[in-house]
Structure 1
């Protein structure tokens, strides 16, 4: 009988008595599977007789579920699979019928298949595995063995590697883990394939624009359109995430409320004039808000479940971006969370929880029964172990929180154009302002600028530019408190430096230096978009434009109050001096390109703004200006208007050294440096429209910037072009483009950073301060132009 005939006649791996479903995997194995699934480059290797087919059973064909799982794993990016056996390679190929993507190594490792260059030939299985690990550059290896001669292989595993012995407890092993038999090994491979696929490609996330922001200003969170808490950090908004489902799926944290009848949500809205979100299902409503801070380092998230139908609740916090496993301990008044690195409880009196001990931490589930008279209230309290009843009832606390937002909103002078959306934008900007005075550029990290791309940045920090523009927008609506707090923050930062010329572009929300930029390897990213970054390397860049927005903010605040504070004048003077010393330097610019510095038009314009506003402040408020400021401002204006113009492009370009366009260069006219009636500015507007506008959106630039992939159009750039249209008398085009900008807002009025006009989907971090302040500015200008 030939080998192929023997294969056809060979029996299949027998199923277990009572069915084909294997017993649940041991907890230690499930946890290791979860960890292995999240390594950047994974190697899965197993022996044949013992792992894929039982030793001594008479079966020579591999377990069909194991074969299917190996096929799926081998198809995944960053994943390699191998079978290392005492059998010859030709025998393995005939018996297993595994695809060519799975490396076959026969004769105890001495006979690699034709796709591997292992010279010299490995002496044994352990050598073969080491060679495979080097060849695939694996960051973790999973070896599954059940036959003779496997122990030396297990002994060679280190670090993140996992050795899994197949066999009963009577067989001694040095492997860290064990499964009882071949069907269990197949189940392990299936579980690994499912988790690996989810990590590589990401679970289907909520559309970015459909996520709603919660804020008490000390903390922020995002709620998906189905009432899932998809993002929340603690103790600060720029701290590690406690719930990061939007970036890592369920394994990164779950807090979900849904009707037991499994109906889809009917809609989501804010309570008018507040940051309280209501998600409505048939016969069920979930109301979410962050209660006013009850103390330093404490955050209370309240979830009110009302209606006339049962609701299911799933609660699985995963601190440190899902890297810290937690234990949930039942308590008569709720749950105690252990392992988070800070105290945390879920106040839920009367709720009966079922707790599952899963691979990366505990998960609590319950079914609750609200009634028309008695809603169910869940309170997640971070930073405390207090499970006592609150001193104030839920309705009274919600009413007080309503006043905190709506009373403030009533003090503003909102534009009539897009009034309701402008109000939501104002609330969103205030929600990004923190008690320290620092202002978040956005509430999230690593929401992608391209689905599947690498342009994923952490925006949970305070940029001098973004912060100044945010509070200036609120100042233009009539609120000065945020500007005062931000300038306090700037003063503290400057006081910590030898001089303002050493200012970095961004700092933590508390005004300290950022740590090094890191990648959270365990998170799959939004829709599989990796890496997920924490920190931002831009804090070490040179960005000469940062002084202009701060000085302009002081100019607007002094104009609004009719007085200029001494300390603010001192800051203006020191920033003007910094510009005088450094304006001629090339820099990385507003877009923080990770490429060589250039002599950028926008940065020079902002240097001019610094000096021009400083001279104007001195004249209006009787201060003494340095006599060099005014002529230096004229010199900068002369240089940038001459060297920034490209006859080839017919426009002001990105920098002195090229013909590429940049939407930020529109500020040569928007800032007042160049009169908007100047034909060169009008030509620049036309060129930006022609080259950077794509239907409803405007791109920053089209040049290669040192990073792979692409990005969407920037809503901030869209607002600049609207402003430029109005400045050059093109009101019809401005109104048309503004309508497009308004249409980009999500159902609850929030706007992320970008929009892809091809796929028609939102991109970038969310909600983005730039997008909302741009909308407010355009609405105000349209009011004035009317």
Structure 2
């Protein structure tokens, strides 16, 4: 049975997911939202016939898998009666000729570690979303897989006849496989693979060494940080929500969505989490992406999600040829959310850009033009703060004046006032402060329910929603405010189950949710810490860390009964929660060193 115990490798231009047996089950080319040439994750088969790249041990009995410390290099060991072998998987990433080198290339390094393991190699990419099988040609040291729009070349020092025939052979010496564009290597495959491996290992370890880590839970934070970095699309600065499409939010729920795009909401939280660890390059790249989007909008409506190349039309359709994860379709390509009105987007844009006006570590300097562009987004926030929308949970069948959307509209105006003060625009400070105060007064009046003794999910509503926990996180309310404390209490009574937290209590387009949404659990422990219940928050955090898979990663959702991971993977929102939780709860370095 398929699980989400998958390792991720990538280089900030594309990625791949590898199961505990060392099989590539998912990889899209030439970028995150491209053609899934390896797609066995969504075929519904335990032993997939196509869309897979594997090194198969004949008498496999046991596996182990881990990351090379402080890197994105995945090590898989396969053990059987005939012997054991090790596979090192990576996507090259390092500085070369004064620029970053990140080709659409996968490197597999295979070596025997005991006995004489008998293996076979299966490389079975498909094209056109599984609808096209490649034409195969061969050279003296390579195989080409020719598709309608791309050609992949597998260069290897394994016998080409054995690769083509998927013939078993004795692994008596190390071998290397490099899969990438149809280009000739400049050196031998062994030398190239070793060079790529060593340089990539060095890159990641240097990157990790620059992180400002909390004292506790460092291993968890490092893995979360690397995973977030892998979800950035460096050519444009975009940040994807997850690497996959259509992993159901719950078993047989139909809640299957394509997350391989840049939600401005999710991206803001990613940027802020990485900034908190002292790595600001991601923010600089994302700021450029963001400001282009704001300029494109021209002061009008800003959609909540875009393609990684700023594509606007993410037309959603169902891929009938895929059975889906564990056979639980549908499988979707594209996401209809691009058509939504989600008013929190304006706050997320301005919050995502604000730090660049204050952080002196950043080389690029924002201009007064940038500020005026952000003001256009602020004007939209003020215009729509009390208007119905689909909300941050992207409800498809109804609209309301969602508290969380109005909250982020307040944040947009509040942060613009702060930016204006920073750059000496005194009149604009007053202008935006007045608008922020107006929105705040409206939210306090319209979203508080005397009946529920809590802030509720929409103006005049009566149902609870975990997103109101962001009130403290974005500085809207003092966390000790009795109304916020009461809200936390009511949310825990209604939405919490042990360490887990549901998004909301009301039924949505698909009925009542049955799984917990991981980021909501992290919002809860953040709120508990802020209101003085730190020991409870630490217990919840420790419990949430135990729900990670063996490689330290989380998907979008966790089933509160089975503890199983569901939803797209790895989910940036969830990995952000790990970083934020550790930073909020860790003992200070000064207390122990």
Same fold (TM over 0.5): yes
Q: Distance in 1 between matches of 2:547 and 2:327?
A: 23
Structure 1 residue 642: deviation in Å?
1.2
Cα contact 1:243–1:321 (8 A) shared by 2: no
1:488 to 285, 288, 293: 288
What aligned pairs does 1:456-467 form with structure 2 within 5 A after superposition? 456-467=256-267
Which whole-Å CA distance do the structure 2 matches of 1:687 and 1:612 have between them? 28
Aligned 1:626-775 pairs, distance under 5 A? 626=428, 627-708=430-511, 710-775=513-578
Between 552-561 and 539-548, the greater mean CA deviation after superposition: 552-561
Name the SS for the 1:315 alignment partner. Answer: strand
Distance 1:770 1:330, change over 3 A: same
Query: Residue 331 of structure 2 aligns with which residue?
Result: 532
**Whole-Å separation in 1 of the counterparts to 2:511 and 2:166:** 43
Q: SS of the counterpart of 1:613?
A: helix
Does 2:132 correspond to 1:324? yes
Flag the 1:562–1:286 CA change in 2: closer, same or farther, 3 A: closer
- Match for residue 67 of structure 2 among 252, 270, 284: 270
Partner of 2:39: 244
Separation (CA, whole Å) in 2 of partners of 1:751 and 1:390? 38
Supply the distance in 2 between the matched residues of 1:565 and 1:425 (Cα, whole angstroms).
29
Q: Paired residue for 2:86?
A: 285
Judged with a 3 Å threshold, the aligned counterparts in structure 2 of structure 1 residues 707 and 364 are, in CA distance, closer, same or farther, namely farther
Residue by residue over 1:328-360, the C-alpha shift from the partner in whole angstroms, topping out at 9 and shown as x without a partner, is 2333212121235212111123414358xxxxx
Query: 1:676-733 CA distances to partner (integer Å, 9 max, x unpaired)?
Result: 1111111110111111111221110121112257442111001100011011111121
On the 8 A contact 2:92/2:101 being kept in 1, the answer is no
1:605 matched to which residue of 2?
407
Q: Of 462, 465, 474, which aligns to 2:274?
A: 474
Q: 1:233 to 1:221 in 2, by over 3 A?
A: same
Measure, in 2, the Cα distance between the counterparts of 1:774 and 1:782: 12
CA distance in 1, matches of 2:503, 2:209: 35
Mapped to 1, the partners of 2:542 and 2:153 lie a distance apart of: 45
Q: 1:335 to 1:730 in 2, by over 3 A?
A: same
Partner Cα separation in structure 2 for residue 694 and residue 496 of structure 1 = 43
Residue 230 of structure 1: aligned partner? 25
Within 2, Cα distance between the matches of 1:619 and 1:669? 23
The change in CA–CA distance for 1:414 and 1:571 in structure 2 (over 3 A counts) is: farther
Deviation of 1:481 after TM superposition, in Å, equals 0.6
1:311 corresponds, among 115, 119, 126, to 119
Against the structure 1 CA distance between its residues 408 and 562, is the aligned structure 2 distance closer, same or farther, given a 3 Å change threshold?
closer
1:511/1:341 Cα in 2 relative to 1: closer, same or farther (>3 Å)? same
For residue 561 of structure 1, give the secondary structure of its aligned residue in structure 2.
coil
Change (3 A) 1:605 1:253: same
Residue matched to 1:221: 16
Q: Secondary structure at the match of 1:654?
A: coil
Secondary structure of 1:750 counterpart: coil
Aligned pair in 2 of structure 1 residues 482, 417: CA closer, same or farther (>3 Å)? same
Q: Aligned match of 1:258 in 56, 68, 73?
A: 56
Give 1:637 shift.
0.7
Map Cα deviations across residues 285-333 of structure 1 (whole Å, 9 max, x no partner). Answer: 1111112399999511111111142322112111223211223233321
Q: In 2, distance between residues paired with 1:366 and 1:456?
A: 37
After the TM superposition, which of the residue ranges 278-287 and 222-231 deviates more from structure 2? Answer: 278-287
SS of match in other structure, 1:471 = helix
Query: Distance between the aligned counterparts of 2:427 and 2:210, measured in 1?
Result: 35
Alignment-derived partner of residue 351 in structure 2:
552
Alpha-carbon shift at residue 498 of structure 1 (Å): 2.6
Kindly tell me: are residues 296 and 216 of structure 1, through their superposed partners in 2, closer, same or farther at Cα, counting changes over 3 Å? closer
Consecutive unaligned residues in structure 2, runs of 5 or more: none
> Is the counterpart of residue 299 in structure 1 residue 104 in structure 2?
yes
Q: Is the 8 A contact 2:162 2:168 kept in 1?
A: no
- 1:145-172 CA distance string (max 9 Å, x none): xxxxxxxxxxxxxxxxxxxxxxxxxxxx
Tell me which residue corresponds to 2:224: 425
Q: Is the 8 A contact 2:18 2:24 kept in 1?
A: yes
Native 8 Å contact 2:6 2:17 kept in 1: yes
Offset of residue 762 of structure 1: 0.5
Instruction: Work out whether 1:380 is the aligned partner of 2:380.
Output: no
Are 1:449 and 2:254 an aligned pair? Answer: no
In 1, Cα distance between equivalents of 2:396 and 2:480: 35
Relative to structure 2, which stretch is displaced further, 468-477 or 576-585? 576-585
Instruction: Give distance in 2, aligned partners of 1:291 and 1:683.
Output: 50
State the SS of the aligned residue for 2:544: helix
Q: Is the 8 A contact 1:330 1:353 kept in 2?
A: no
The TM-score, its normalising length taken from structure 1, stands at 0.70
Match of 1:366, SS state, is coil
Q: Write out per-residue CA displacement over residues 26-75 of structure 1, whole angstroms, 9 at most, x where no aligned residue.
A: xxxxxxxxxxxxxxxxxxxxxxxxxxxxxxxxxxxxxxxxxxxxxxxxxx
**CA RMSD in angstroms, aligned pairs only:** 2.2
Of 189, 197, 211, the residue aligned with 2:6 is 211
Partners of 2:427 and 2:557 lie apart in 1 by 41
SS in 2 for 1:328: strand
Sort the Cα spacing of 1:310 and 1:615 in 2 relative to 1 into closer, same or farther, 3 A: same
Are 1:298 and 1:384, in contact at CA under 8 Å, matched by a contact in 2? no
- Is the 1:445–1:459 Cα contact (8 Å) retained in structure 2? yes
Q: Is the 8 A contact 1:714 1:753 kept in 2?
A: yes
Q: Which residue does the alignment assign to 1:177?
A: none
Q: Which residue number corresponds to residue 518 of structure 1?
A: 317
**Match of 1:393, SS?**
helix
Cα pair 1:243 1:317 within 8 Å, conserved: yes
8 Å contact 2:505–2:512 — kept in the other structure?
Answer: no
- The structure whose Rg is larger is 1
How far apart are the structure 1 equivalents of 2:427 and 2:399?
31
C-alpha contact 1:450 1:709 (8 A) present in aligned 2: no
Counterpart position of 1:411? 210
SS in 2 for 1:278: strand
Query: Is the Cα contact below 8 Å between 1:451 and 1:528 reproduced in 2?
Result: no
Aligned length: 569
Does the alignment pair 1:498 with 2:306? no
Distance in 2 separating the partners of 1:443 and 1:584: 34
Matches within 5 A, 1:366-405: 366-371=167-172, 374-381=173-180, 383-386=181-184, 389-390=187-188, 392-405=191-204
SS at match of 1:773: helix
